[in-house]
Each structure stands twice: as C-alpha cells, then as structure tokens.
Amino acid sequence: MAPSSEIYIEATEDDPVVRAQVAIRAVHQRLRIGLGAFTELEPVDGSQKVVHAALVDFCAGELRRQLAAADQTLYAAASGAAETRLLVRALRTGAAALGERIDELAATDDTASGTAIAEAIEAVLAVHLAAEDTVLLPALATLPGADLPTLVTDMLTLLAGGELDNPPFLDVREIPHGQRHPRIFARYARLAHGEGFVLVNNHDPKPLRREFEATHPGTHTWEYLESGPDIWQVRIGKAAVDA
C-alpha cells in the first residue's frame, strides 16, 4: 500500500495537480485584475501620463514575465508532444501578438492611443489565458512525461525572480523513484534544439527510454556513455530539427 502522504482524492484540494492548477489560475487572475485596473480607470486631468507610464511598466514587467515563464515551463513541456504541439504553437502566436501590442504601448506618447492599445491587450489576454486555463492545464495534467506540479513550481520560481537549475549532469540516484521521471522530463523540456544533458542513474533506464520514445518520437536523442555495472550515464538530447 502506498504511504498515506502519496494518496490523493482526485479533483480535490489535496491533489497536487489541482493545487498546481489553482496556483496558475491565481496568477492569471492577478494579471486580469492588474490590467483591468488600468483600462477601467478614468484619470483626472494631469494624471494621464502618470497612469500611462504605470500601465507600460505593468505590461512590460509583470505581463511579459508571465508570458516568458509560461513559455519556458508549461509550453516547453507541451511543445514536443503530438497531442499538444499545435496548441502550443497557437499559444505562442498569441503571446507574440501580446508582445507586439506591449511594444506599441511603450512606443506611444499619446494617452488616447495608449488606452486603445491597452484595451486590445486586455481582450487578447483574456482569450489567451482562457486557453491556458481550459485547454493547456488539463492537457498537461494527463500528458505522459509531464508533471504539472513540477512545471508550476518552476514557473512560480521564474515569476519570483529566481532561476531554474539546468545542470549539464542530472544525477537522480538520490532522488525518490516516483520523482525521477518528472525531474528528467522537466529538464528535457527546457532544452533548446540541439542541446542535451547527461542522466546519471544506478540502473539501465530502459523504462524511461520507452517513455521518451512514446511521448517524443523522433524528436529526442539517446546515447549511452556508460553502461554499468554500478553507474549508467546517458546523454539525452533534443534533436536539432523536429522530425
């Protein structure tokens, strides 16, 4: 029987996946409220430029950080799987459109134009976040090789100004067995095309290889550098070009 700490009631607050989804949706809600506070505000005479400057700071700062953090974690994990590849392309297109509007907002000195651009950002963002909430998060919760709680923890680390650990060697020998594969797949998700890392393990990771072949067919590389009897080292890479 599994330890009680590892038994969760599905679809309750005790489920780590549910907690991860709640955490991301809280981030989304803060963005909606923060941006709405500017678009719904009616500046008094003389305060328009101050409000515009604060709006630019919010969009260029907090909003851009959220878009970048989601791309490095949630999108990266879903981009290599056939089930979610097109969804990630659509989300990245939406994020790029938001980035263009933010650039336009920062470039204008006209407060009336700035208000119109901000309203456009708000409209695009609403659709973008809804797609993350209702399509991406549920997909990641069931996607083989993806661990939503780990991905959300990484995203929140980036939003807090931290950095993700991307070691060239990932030694999982001291990591509990149930946490090894999520760590490995999260590390793989952050690779750029043509990059790789070395997995260090105390056994031949054949089950992991089968998972990679099922979830990332033709887009990963697998090279044994050391094959036991006590240590196995495998260089896992992301193919330079998608198959």
Quick one: pLDDT band at residue 12, thresholds 50, 70, 90?
Answer: low
What pLDDT is stored for residue 119 in this prediction? 92
Mean pLDDT value across the chain: 88
**Which range, 143-147, 171-175, 197-201, is most confident?**
197-201
Place of tokens 């309203």: 119
What pLDDT is stored for residue 2 in this prediction? 42
What pLDDT is stored for residue 126 in this prediction? 96
Distance CA 161, CA 206 (A): 37
What pLDDT is stored for residue 62 in this prediction? 95
Segment 134-147 mean pLDDT? 90
Distance CA 91, CA 99 (A): 12
Kindly tell me if the per-residue pLDDT of 161 is higher than 90.
yes
Question: Considering the chain, what percentage of its residues have pLDDT values greater than 70?
Answer: 92
Sign, Cα dihedral of 180, 181, 184, 185: negative
What pLDDT is stored for residue 8 in this prediction? 47
Phi, psi dihedrals of residue 69, rounded to the nearest 5°? -65, -40
| Sequence-distant (≥ 6) Cβ neighbours of residue 9 within 8 angstroms | 15
What pLDDT is stored for residue 11 in this prediction? 55
| Sequence-distant (≥ 6) Cβ neighbours of residue 201 within 8 angstroms | 172, 173, 180, 231, 232, 233, 234
Segment 158-187 mean pLDDT? 89
- The token duo for 12 is 């309750």
Task: Find the helix packing angle between 16-39 and 148-159, rounded to 10°.
Answer: 40
Place of tokens 């979830």: 215
What pLDDT is stored for residue 38 in this prediction? 85
Task: Lowest mean pLDDT of 112-126, 156-170, 180-194, 216-230, name the range.
Answer: 180-194
- The pairing of strands 169-171 and 220-227 is unpaired
What pLDDT is stored for residue 190 in this prediction? 85
What pLDDT is stored for residue 44 in this prediction? 65
Bridge partners (DSSP) listed for residue 199: 170, 234
What pLDDT is stored for residue 129 in this prediction? 97
What pLDDT is stored for residue 233 in this prediction? 97
Quick one: pLDDT band at residue 162, thresholds 50, 70, 90?
Answer: very high
What pLDDT is stored for residue 186 in this prediction? 85
Q: pLDDT (tens digit, 9 = 90+) per residue, 21-72?
A: 999 999 999 999 999 988 887 766 667 888 889 999 999 999 999 999 999 9
